[in-house]
Amino acid sequence: MDLILILEQTLNGVQLGMLLFLLTAGLTLVFGIMDLVNLAHGSLYMMGAYFFATFTRLTGSFLLGAVLALVATLILGIVVEIVALRRLYARDHLDHVLGTFGLILFFNEAARLVWGPAGMSIPLPPYLARAIEILPGVPYSAYKASIIVVGLAVAGFLYWLVGRTRIGMLIRAGASNREMVGALGVNIRLLFTLVFGLGAALAGLAGVMDAPIRTVQIGMGENILILAFVVVVIGGIGSIRGAFVASILVGLIDVMGRAFLPELLKLFMTPIAASTAAPAISSMLIYVAMAGVLVFRPEGLFPARGG
Amino acid sequence: MAEPLLTIDRLVKRFGGLTATDHLSLEVMPGEVHAVIGPNGAGKTTLIAQIAGELRADAGEIRFAGEDITRLPAPARSHRGLARSFQVTSLFADMTVEDNVALAVQAHDGHSFRFLADARRDARLRDPARAVLARVGLAERGQVRAAALSHGEQRQLEIALALATRPRLLLLDEPMAGMGAEESARMIERLRGIKSQVTIVLVEHDMDAVFALADRITVLVYGRAIATGRPDEIRRNAQVREAYLGDEQAAS
Amino acid sequence: MKSLDARGWTALALILLLVAVPPLARTFDQNFYLLLFTRVVIMTTAAISLNLILGYGGMVSFGHAMYVGIGAYAVGISSFHGLNDGWAQMALAMAVAAVAALAIGAMSLRTKGVYFIMITLAFAQMIYFVAVGLSRYGGDDGLTVKRRSDFGLFGLKDPAVLYYVALAVMLAALWLSWRMVNSRFGLVLRGAKSNDRRMAAIGFATYRYRLAGFVVAGTMCAVAGVLLANFSDFVSPATMHWTRSGDLIVMVVLGGMGSLFGPLFGTVAFLLLEEVLSGITEAWQIIFGPLLLALVLYARGGIDGLLAKRTERGDG
């Protein structure tokens, strides 16, 4: 097979993995620390993308639009936390699911009212729309490469934040012992709001970066949210490291499956049968991977806590 | 000399750096009430959980009625005749008292893949359940929701659930927890009634209860058994007095 | 027999009303209501099946619409290949659903809490994408059911017949669920929801019972799917979109979890609310979403809980 094609698809897989990581990091932080299942996390991703579309049009600047969209998603996340989610922390997971399901319906409909039912696309500025040579003779989209760079930077930032800072220490302590953190004189409500805001901003960042690649549309958050769930299950709930590894794994499996499975199946089947079966099978791959992990490691690859 | 009903042999359980059970050995003879006492953090509840099969021991062996049960899960141990009560009341709070006990009876009456017959009119479950309730003094309270019982009644139901499985060995984890003096006295009387029918391992803080009921006592300190003997021997044991009983004796 | 309380009366009145829907619709020439209530009755069956595991068993399955989809596709695909025998289609639907539920349940029930929610959701999504990938059967666009199921003695062509068949199925599901939750099996499910640790201590290995419940619920739900495909003459992946699974959970919780008639109350309320709200504004979900949040925050017992409270007050 074509080596350059394989390399390119590998990078595409990593790029999808980075987007998934941004989304999953927030999801798993919020779950690990507040014990909150937030289905509306995908809505924040969608809102980030819509904000981005609006702000780039208003300002005429790609970068400025991105920054404003991030700030807007952060604020939106904090508002949602204060108005609604804060009341759900003490409830059970079913309540979380229902309440945040309600939020999804709300956000989808709100987006339809504000931005209309048609999708929006965001053109890339020239400096990102071109291809760069990542290796001699191997061109790759500058924009997708930049997604990988940003994803790695965020991963490094989170690693530093959670592992090396006082805030990170509080976050880790808050996960295991709320009373203790409260006793230290830390405002746990504020801490939770900030963590949720951080998660929202990360989801917004994923939405912003994904927006130019796909169409900004209603419901875009939900499919990717379920992918993020698969990542969380594979990686282990509450673990940033697990989220990172599993994101890349899922990104690679998904992209490689779609790219190479039809060719692979043709080795065993008639071309017609292969082209019929390939889409169905390739869309199953990541779930099969999840099932495999579940059978052998029900707690995920990197269980964050014992018991 | 009879065979011990329960033999614990060099049992070890670690939680991270903490050794909750430290090469603990213990024998429980058929028919006796064997009390396990010790200061807070001595590992009594951890021991009960390992005997009942909720916690897997890191090393050592547990033999029950001649069979090695160290690796058996909790339900299988229940079917071999082990039953436990919980220190923190653990009931089916939203069911009636009778349903609670009947469920425990049902667990030992074949499989439960019976989908259509009304279990609430099943005499095979209800009759034994009512009999157990009568034994613990809850005969009048069968149709009350478990959550609506008083604390003392919940403690009685806690024991009824264990008894309903018709155990050969009953593990009681602080049956008097949270009870007033009067309630405790009544509970001691009830346990005295039960003790002729079943072997009991009793973990309890209430020393009056322990000395009133126990045939033998094992003293646990930091996961280790420092002494085992008849109540009067334990009372006289210098090491025990120093480690544990000393201040209580001084106070009384 | 105990005298009926408020919820008993409400349920009885509702069922009598449901029986009277076709003649009433014909008398007042309101065919629309016959169609609306056919949907209500079919979805109630699905909600009853979910209530078995969610309400009584405490298993928050977020993929239940998948079984509706499996039932619907069993009709769609077999009819596409010229097989219209209703009994065969029903058997196929239930068998496939049972196998799917067994496989998914066996894996997901090894986990607890939020894992279970995410895994059931993910597997349902997988089946959804499989349906999207079935290009031979219309893929994303779905597949028209050209002939409705034929049950020999009766067909489902006549809307009133379809309605009464769906109603009979719903009542059968209700009866079955009533028997089951009061049986030995049902009490084990309830016990596992209430206190699984205690269940282990008294000698129950609950995994196999919860798995059996999961399979029964999925199989029962597939019957609703068979009816739904006949009702809409059409099957598509949208039937098992994850939001449909969310809707089913809402129906169960809105009606009152773990209560016999809860799914009936909840489905009626949900579909009527949808009808009314969408009559007010096309963007009805902008009202419904926050309403749902409010339900979670302030009315946990659902409709059944409200009715029960009324009864208690009346007695006291």
- pLDDT(B251) > 70: no
Kindly determine whether residue C253 and residue A98, on different chains, have CB atoms separated by under 8 Å.
Answer: yes
Give me the residue spans of the domains in chain A. Answer: 22-296
Report the gap between the CA of C115 and the closest CA in chain A (Å): 7
Chain A neighbors of C292, CB-CB under 8 A: 98-99, 101-102, 105
Dump pLDDT digits (tens) for C232-271: 999 999 999 999 999 999 999 999 998 999 999 999 999 9
Q: Is B107 in the C-facing interface, judged by CB distances under 8 Å?
A: yes
Q: Is C175 in the B-facing interface, judged by CB distances under 8 Å?
A: no
- pLDDT(A292) > 90: no
The per-residue pLDDT for A149 is 93
The per-residue pLDDT for A1 is 54
H or E, element range at C289 = helix C285-298
For residue A118 the two structure tokens come to 């048609």
- With pLDDT > 70 as the criterion, what percentage of chain B qualifies? 96
- Can you say whether the dihedral through the CA atoms of C244, C84, C48, B142 is positive or negative? negative
Kindly determine whether residue C179 and residue B164, on different chains, have CB atoms separated by under 8 Å.
Answer: no
Of C115, C129, C293, the CB nearest to A102: C293
Instruction: Report how far residue C248's alpha carbon sits from residue C45's, in angstroms, rounded to the nearest whole number.
Output: 10
Kindly determine whether residue C183 and residue B116, on different chains, have CB atoms separated by under 8 Å.
Answer: yes
Kindly determine whether residue B95 and residue C194, on different chains, have CB atoms separated by under 8 Å.
Answer: yes
Kindly determine whether residue C115 and residue A233, on different chains, have CB atoms separated by under 8 Å.
Answer: yes
Instruction: Report how far residue A92's alpha carbon sits from residue B190's, in angstroms, rounded to the nearest whole number.
Output: 38
Chains near B, with 3+ CB pairs < 8 A?
C
Dump pLDDT digits (tens) for A257-276: 888 888 888 888 888 877 77
The per-residue pLDDT for A182 is 66
Mean of the pLDDT values across residues C158-170?
Answer: 95
The per-residue pLDDT for B250 is 43
Was domain B1-81+168-179+197-252 assigned CATH 3.40.50.300? yes
Substitution target in A41, A93, A287 with the highest count of C β-carbons within 10 Å is: A287
Mean of the pLDDT values across residues B51-80?
Answer: 95
Mean of the pLDDT values across residues A204-216?
Answer: 93
Give CATH 3.40.50.300 domain extents, chain B.
1-81+168-179+197-252
Single pTM value for the model:
0.91
Kindly determine whether residue A93 and residue C250, on different chains, have CB atoms separated by under 8 Å.
Answer: no
Substitution target in B92, B94, B101 with the highest count of C β-carbons within 10 Å is: B92
Kindly determine whether residue A230 and residue C291, on different chains, have CB atoms separated by under 8 Å.
Answer: no
Region of poorest pLDDT, from A163-177, A197-211, C141-155: A163-177
Mean of the pLDDT values across residues C66-73?
Answer: 97
Chain B neighbors of C205, CB-CB under 8 A: 73, 75-76
What's chain C's average pLDDT? 92
Kindly determine whether residue B115 and residue C180, on different chains, have CB atoms separated by under 8 Å.
Answer: yes
Mean of the pLDDT values across residues A225-231?
Answer: 91
CA A144 to centroid of chain Cα atoms: 15
Region of poorest pLDDT, from B16-20, B210-214, C82-86: B16-20
